[in-house]
Amino acid sequence: MKHILIISFLTIISVAVFAQDADLVFVDGWVDIKSAGDTFEAFPGDSLKAGDSVITGEDSYAELEQKDLSSITVKPDSIFTIREIETDRGKETVLATTVGSVSFKFGKLFGTEPRVATPSMVAGIRGTELTVYAGEDGSTLITVNSGLVSVESEGSTVDLAKDEGVEVRPGEAPGEKFSLLGREMDFASWNKEKYESLIADPIEGLDRLGNQLDGFVGKIDELELFRAKNKEKKDILLEEMEKIKESSGQEKANVFFKENIEALALLEAPSYLNIRYHTLSALSFRRYILGKLYLEMKSKYIMDVQNHEYLDFLSSYNRIMNNFEIDIVPYMNPRDL
């Protein structure tokens, strides 16, 4: 019991040190906060913690501020979520944009640097002003106003400096970076172009989105494998500890636990946190990107449900949804919905 208490204490401390919550400082129009499964209207002064989302409507936007005076502007028709992930540098805040456009202006950071993510990329940042555009086809456009941003996707990285941008398509490495000088970024037009390209060939588009979901599943599988190996090692060591207890007494067994098992037990919490991170990322992707494509196709063919393109789409959609039910749903809980 003592050991369990120590482990829990360490976990709580690490959250307190590194979690970067945010306060809502300005709201224009109707904005929702989704927190612990409940959705309610947002007002200035509301606080967001890890796991919470801000959802803006077509004519609304919200501004958030973190304790280090970093500011985040969630533009109209966007979904922004604060998440946490465990890395080799410890627990890090991930500022995730599922769809829409969010601008960041980071102040003097405390703890570890936050990461900025969309369904198709993760970016590390350093003293930066940047805007992230997450398109309704799962693509990302990221532009930098100041500082340095390192954009990572599918194992490849592109470094961006002031007045540079890059596009990342779902399931692909970042594209060629481009200069923003003399170029006016128009997210609405970019998003429209991306969405039209997605629905021009919805079955191919759906396959791409399915591959993106498979990417989340792959990351969860890796973490599960790690957990399984860890548990196997821990079970062997626990048996050994029992033998030590029988032969040499409780005190020796406690020393053995501290030296050999405690570290393994501590590794379990981060992998659980990261599985949750990828689960929630997959859920957001499915809900707002794949779900929108489903609505598009359902409404397009509602008067012609036997159309072969629609039936082909449904066949792929049902396959992806079955996989989602098998691979992602077991890691979800009712509060996620």
Partner 1 sequence: MRKITIALVSMMILIALSSCTTMKAVPNDRAVKRFINLYNTGDTEKMTVMTSIPMLIDGEIVARTSDANFFWTRLAEAGFKFDGSEYYTIEPVTDKSSLIFGDTMEVATFFDKYVPSTAVLVRLSGPGGDFILLLSGRKGRYPFIFGFTGPLS
Contacts with partner 1, residue ranges (CB under 8 A): 34, 37, 39, 55, 57-58, 77, 79, 287-288, 291-292, 294-296, 298-300, 302-305, 321, 325, 329, 332, 334, 337
Residue 37 or 218 having the CB closest to partner 1: 37
Considering beta carbons, is residue 158 or 280 the nearer one to partner 1?
280
Least Cβ distance, residue 159 to partner 1 (angstroms):
34
**CA gap 327, 310 in Å, rounded:** 25
Contacts with 30 (C-beta within 8 Å, 6 or more apart), sequence order: 41, 57, 60
Identify residue 211 by its one-letter amino acid code.
Answer: N
Tell me whether strands 115-118 and 90-105 are parallel, antiparallel or unpaired: parallel
What's the closest the beta carbon of residue 79 comes to partner 1, in angstroms? 7
Strands (E), 115-252: 115-118, 121-134, 140-153, 156-160, 164-168, 178-179
Q: Closest separation between CB of residue 220 and partner 1, Å?
A: 16
Burial of 324 (0-12, 13-18, 19+ CB in 10 A): buried
CB-wise, 47 or 318, nearer to partner 1?
318
Q: Which amino acid is at 259?
A: E
Residue written as token pair 């980071």 = 106
Nearer to partner 1, 190 or 301 (CB): 301
In the bound complex, what is the minimum distance in angstroms from residue 35's beta carbon to partner 1? Answer: 14
CB nearer partner 1, residue 156 or residue 307: 307
CA dist 267 and 26 (Å) reads 39
Rounded distance, CA 169 to CA 73, Å? 23
DSSP character string of 98-118? EEEEEEEE--S--SSPPEEEE
| Contacting residues for 135 by C-beta, under 8 A, at least 6 apart | 99, 141, 190, 191, 194, 195
| Rounded least distance, CB 28 to partner 1, Å | 16
Q: How far is the CB of 77 from partner 1 (least distance, A)?
A: 6
Q: How distant is the alpha carbon of residue 293 from its chain centre?
A: 20
**Least distance (Å) between residue 334 CB and partner 1:** 5
Minimum Å distance from CB 58 to partner 1? 5
